[in-house]
Structure 1
Amino acid sequence: MDASTIRFTVFISVLLICAITEHYRPQRPLSQPKAFRWLNNLGLTSVNALVLYCTMPLLAIEAALWVQQHQFGLTYWLGLPMPVSLVLTVIALDCAIYWQHRLFHSWSILWHLHKVHHADQDLDVTSGARFHPIEIWLSMWIKITLVIALGISPLAVIIFEVLLNATAMFNHSNINLPAYIDKPLRKLLVTPDMHRVHHSTQRSETDSNFGFCLSIWDRIFNSYISQPALGHQKMHIGISRFRDPQEQRLDKMLTQPFRNK
């Protein structure tokens, strides 16, 4: 299978597993009809795929193939063995995504793009793929730059993209994990309860728990909050200025970065 087929297969598999699990073990009741949210969130995901296909001269995997062909980038210059290079570059990409996420929160012009993700008033598996097309476009260029600079192999790119996609859907899922599972799991991975704090309407909580896959970055860089102040059942999710249910429509999401109401 090629990289696109692998990513799509994992996407569908994780989507179905998380959707079934959150149906039977939901953490919070949904405030809006699931069909309405799924139609629009997954519609935005489809728009993003189309934008990348039509506007990007290359994707991260093509950049990695060029890097491999020309033996370009830090890992090749250092002469690192393939297994070592593979592990280190996947970890480095995850750390980079953590800092990219923090940048999109701290820089106003980028926050206007990223708030589309935060404007979702419920969290479920589809929230993990809900991003504005311009943010997805910028993120791809950042990833390509890292791939070339670090000399990241095609295999590392595939592994990272599959992990990022799968963990993003998992940690946005509305799954009620028992404490005896959540507590040890979040020592390594970002869990749904850990990431839900990040979607609080309280800005101090929104600016925390930036990790997508590995949870260690938030602890290392002092951005970790264990639980929301109001608890998972009483906390408010979303963006205060976009509380109208119609703001969850695809056309509204596409215009949210360019308006304040």
Structure 2
Amino acid sequence: MDDTSFIRLGVFAGVFVTMAALEAWLPARRAALRKRTRWQGNLAMVVLGALAARVVLPATLAGVAMWAGDQSVGLFNQISVHPFVAVALSMLLLDVAIYWQHRLFHAVPLLWRLHKVHHADSHTDTTTGLRFHPLEIVLSLFVKAAVIILLGAPVMAVLIFEIALNAFSIFNHANIRLPQRWDDRLALVLITQRLHRIHHSQHSRETNRNFGFSVTWWDRLFGSYTPRAAQSDEMLDIGLKEYPPSSSSAGILALLSMPFKPGKTKSD
């Protein structure tokens, strides 16, 4: 394992343990299922997703950026800009690409079949932020690789972005609640836990809002930002109506097979 892998693993573990401890100490909501039942399935999906990513792209996204640099492929490998500018713009453009990828996974029926595995969780906590079907992980990997090649994104930008994306996903799915005045101030820039719970609402008018994983800028710019749900955060209906809380729907086999069974094909 190289130094960058140690850094990524260290940040991941640090954020996960911190947010899990906070939600155990001051949980915002009570889950319908036992933590053990949900966590077994959710964490198993993390492992399978990581294995799928490694099989499909052994070189990792940083390796894709290295290749693009060596071959002088992509925008920032063709024009002369300060390295800091290239890193900053690459991270910004990668983030907006992930925003639109997220919207597409809600709008395109075939993609929603995969993404609904994430939304079918009846509760949101640190593990929900890691619960994605392996096929969605692979497709997302291809999208990010394509953007990296087109941009000629520097390796440093890719490493920072990947670390930040994982950290923010754990952070904004955590089962905590900030004081409202703090939440509103933080929401000027970042997607907070409360804002992202709106995205996990059972009501489509809210599920199709607050798509950002990190900043609120893209939702504000592209008209998908919603600061409040119709219900209070305490009473918000989370998950998908077609998948009521049950231990049978939270297991690894049920999660893996979910996209291939009949059900709603869009999030609206």
Q: Which category describes the TM-score, using the shorter chain as reference length?
A: over 0.9
Q: 1:114-171, CA deviations, whole angstroms, 9 ceiling, x for partnerless residues?
A: 0000000000011000000000000000110011110001110000001000000000
Give percent identity, aligned residues only: 40
2:253 paired residue number: 251
The CA RMSD over aligned residues, in Å, is 1.2
Query: Are 1:52 and 2:53 an aligned pair?
Result: yes
1:133 paired residue number: 134
| Structure 2, unpaired ranges of 5+ | 264-268
Displacement of 1:57 in angstroms is 5.1
**Alpha-carbon contact 1:241-1:260 (below 8 Å) kept:** no
Q: 1:31-72, CA deviations, whole angstroms, 9 ceiling, x for partnerless residues?
A: 111122112111110011111222335421110111222232
Which residue identity does 1:155 align to in structure 2? M
CA distance in 2, matches of 1:115, 1:224: 20
| Structure 1, unpaired ranges of 5+ | none
Which residue identity does 1:200 align to in structure 2? S
1:39 paired residue number: 40
Q: Once structures 1 and 2 are overlaid, which stretch shifts more, 176-185 or 195-204?
A: 176-185
Which residue identity does 2:43 align to in structure 1? L
CA distance in 2, matches of 1:2, 1:35: 33
Displacement of 1:208 in angstroms is 0.5
Query: Are 1:29 and 2:16 an aligned pair?
Result: no
Q: 1:176-209, CA deviations, whole angstroms, 9 ceiling, x for partnerless residues?
A: 1112321111111111001100000001100000
CA distance in 2, matches of 1:7, 1:87: 19
Question: How many pairs align?
Answer: 261
2:262 paired residue number: 260
**Alpha-carbon contact 2:90-2:151 (below 8 Å) kept:** yes
2:230 paired residue number: 229
The 5 A counterparts of 1:73-112 are: 73-112=74-113
1:12 paired residue number: 13
3-state secondary structure, aligned to 2:113:
helix
Q: Once structures 1 and 2 are overlaid, which stretch shifts more, 69-78 or 121-130?
A: 69-78
Displacement of 1:173 in angstroms is 0.4
Query: Are 1:212 and 2:213 an aligned pair?
Result: yes
Q: 1:203-226, CA deviations, whole angstroms, 9 ceiling, x for partnerless residues?
A: 110000000011110000000111
Structure-1-length-normalised TM-score? 0.97
1:67 paired residue number: 68
The 5 A counterparts of 1:184-223 are: 184-223=185-224
**Alpha-carbon contact 1:59-1:144 (below 8 Å) kept:** no
**Alpha-carbon contact 2:32-2:245 (below 8 Å) kept:** no
3-state secondary structure, aligned to 2:234:
helix
Query: Are 1:120 and 2:121 an aligned pair?
Result: yes
The structure richer in helix per residue is 1
Displacement of 1:24 in angstroms is 1.5
2:242 paired residue number: 241
Which residue identity does 2:110 align to in structure 1? I
